[in-house]
Amino acid sequence: MGEETAIFFVGTAGAGKSTLVAAYDRWAKQQGITTILVNLDPGAEALPYTPDVDVRDWVKISEIMEENGLGPNGAQIAAADMIALNLDEIKSEIGSFRADQILIDTPGQIELFVFRTSGKHIVESLNPGRSVVAYLMDPFLARTSTGFASQLMLGATTFFRFQEPMVFLLSKSDRVDATSLETILSWSSDPTALEHDILSESPSMSREFATQVSRLMESMGIENLLIPVSSLDGKGMDELYSMVQGAVGQSEDATPESDTFLAGDQESTSDPGDDLGRN
């Protein structure tokens, strides 16, 4: 594949991955950014976009269940491995298109994609040069400080597995009231606020553990970087684009040992207009 940037949309079941792929694609097209849409979810029933490359052409959960007498979870595991086996063909089909960005919708069961070897293999081989993981935090799971911390740890696990630049998104932000949004963003911008609220919510938790969680956020470099997005009203699409461009730029500059491998600070990112030659 060429110099396209691949964005893997990853998040817990129902976090809004598929809808965001559709919404971001609509926004991108309006900006003149060309895209390829890839569905990697073999269990998807209906998608809110028309994929250019669809893994269901190779692997279908319903067929695996029927042919192998498996339940839905067993079939998902078998499907993950079957996708990896068909990767050369899937890759060559993606490679038959030319675009600025490849938008990749991943399976709902995040653990199958993040924890199994096949998921890592897929990310490594689909676009080794310029990949970014867009990690969606479900606002309903991140409403409390301990929920936010759990989502953060899952994000850290995702990074630990893929070792690719990541951007953190708060999805469905139109469903979050202004006060809650402010609180969630304060947790992402101020680790001490998160630590304080974790201890207030869960006084039995050790201070050391709460401190470590907030430090995790600092070490992942996500302070000030949680981007609220909404597929409903289009909020955050331009920031998502800028963060992806910034993350890709940084990863190209970074050595594998560098601690600047994650998406960097907002100042280092570019405006879509910069890249596209307009304001």
Q: How many alpha carbons lie under 13 Å from residue 6 in its C-beta half-sphere?
A: 25
Instruction: Say how far apart CA 277 and CA 39 lie, in whole Å.
Output: 30
Minimum CB–partner distance for residue 156 and ligand GTP (Å): 20
Is residue 231 a contact point for Mg ion (CB under 5 A)? no
- Rounded to the nearest 10 degrees, the angle between the axes of helix 191-201 and helix 145-162 is 120
Residue 218, amino acid: E
Stretch touching ligand GTP by CB under 6 A, among 176-184, 228-236, 241-249, 250-258? 228-236
Minimum CB–partner distance for residue 235 and ligand GTP (Å): 8
Minimum CB–partner distance for residue 258 and ligand GTP (Å): 31
Is residue 19 a contact point for ligand GTP (CB under 6 A)? yes
Residue of minimal CB distance from Mg ion? Answer: 18
- 11 makes contact, choosing from Mg ion, ligand GTP, none, with CB < 5 to 8 Å by partner type, with ligand GTP
Burial grade of 262 (CB within 10 A; 0-12, 13-18, 19 or more) = buried
- 153 makes contact, choosing from ligand GTP, Mg ion, none, with CB < 5 to 8 Å by partner type, with none
Is residue 172 a contact point for ligand GTP (CB under 6 A)? yes
Buried/exposed 94-105: b ≥16 CB within 10 Å, e otherwise? bbebebbbbbbb
> What's the residue count for the chain?
279
Q: How many residues bind ligand GTP (CB under 6 A)?
A: 17
Choice between 40 and 222, CB closer to Mg ion: 40
Among positions 7-66, residues that touch Mg ion (CB under 5 A) are 17-18
Choice between 106 and 118, CB closer to Mg ion: 106
Q: Which of 108, 155, 236, 264 binds ligand GTP (CB under 6 A)?
A: 108
Asked if 126 contacts 55 with a C-beta cutoff of 8 angstroms, the reply is no
Instruction: Count the Cβ atoms, other than its own, within 10 Å of residue 219.
Output: 13
Instruction: Say how far apart CA 204 and CA 187 lie, in whole Å.
Output: 20
Residues that bind Mg ion (CB under 5 A): 17-18
Residues that bind ligand GTP (CB under 6 A): 11, 13-19, 41, 108, 171-172, 174-175, 230-232
